[in-house]
Amino acid sequence: MNAPILQMRDITKTFPGVKALQGVDLQVATGEIHAICGENGAGKSTLMKVLSGVYPHGTYEGEIVYEGEEARFSSINDSEHVGIVIIHQELALVPYLSVAENIFLGNERRGRGGLIDWDRTNAEAAKLLAQVGLDENPTSAVGQLGVGKQQLVEIAKALSKNVRLLILDEPTAALNDTDSAQLLDLLRRLREDGMTSIIISHKLNEIAAIADSTTIIRDGRTIETLDMHDPTSTQERIIRGMVGRDLEHRYPERTPDIGDEVFRIENWSVNHPTQPGRVVVEGANLTVRAGEVVGIAGLMGAGRTELAMSVFGQTYGRGASGKVFVRGREVDTSTPSKAIAAGIAYATEDRKHYGLNLIDDIRHNISAASLGRISRGGWIEGNEELVVAERYRADMNIKTPTVLATVGNLSGGNQQKVVLSKWIQTEPDVLILDEPTRGIDVGAKYEIYTIINRLVAAGKGVLVISSELPELLGICDRIYTLAFGRITGDVPIADADQENLMTLMTLERTNER
- pLDDT tens-digit readout, 423-456: 999 999 999 999 998 877 777 888 899 999 999 9
| Mean pLDDT value of segment 72-79 | 93
User: What is the rounded CA–CA span in Å between residue 177 and residue 174?
Assistant: 10
Selection from 507, 9, 56 nearest residue 299 by Cα: 507
Question: Which pLDDT does position 512 carry in this prediction?
Answer: 42
| Nearest partner of 448 among 428, 434, 459, judged by Cα | 434
For 4-243, CATH number out of 3.30.70.100, 1.10.340.30, 1.10.260.40, 3.40.50.300 equals 3.40.50.300
Separation between Cα atoms, residue 108 and residue 102, nearest integer Å: 10
| Beta-bridge partner residues of 295 | 464, 479
Mean pLDDT of the chain: 89
Planar angle of CA 204, 246, 217, nearest 5 degrees = 55
Query: CB neighbours (10 Å) of residue 155?
Result: 24
pLDDT band at 511 (very low <50, low <70, confident <90, very high): very low
Q: What whole-number distance in Å separates Cα of residue 49 and Cα of residue 107? A: 21
What's the length of the chain? 513
d(CA 386, CA 388): 5
Instruction: Give residue 23's identity as a one-letter amino acid code.
Output: G
Give the pLDDT confidence score for residue 317 in this predicted structure: 60
pTM reported for the whole predicted model: 0.68
Question: What does the pLDDT read at residue 399?
Answer: 85
Work out the pLDDT band at 510, boundaries 50, 70, 90: very low
Q: Where are the domains of the chain?
A: 4-243, 261-505
Residue 352: DSSP 8-state: I
Confidence of residue 181 (pLDDT cuts 50, 70, 90): confident
Q: What would the CATH number be for the domain defined by 261-505?
A: 3.40.50.300
Least confident among 48-52, 210-214, 349-353, 357-361: 349-353
The answer to whether 29 and 46 are in contact (CB under 8 A) is: no
With vertex at residue 392, the alpha carbon angle to CA 387 and CA 396, rounded to the nearest 5 degrees, is 160
The reply to whether 261-505 shares the fold of 4-243 is yes
Using the predicted structure, report yes or no on whether residue 269 has a pLDDT greater than 80: yes
CA angle 90, 96, 101 (to 5 degrees): 85
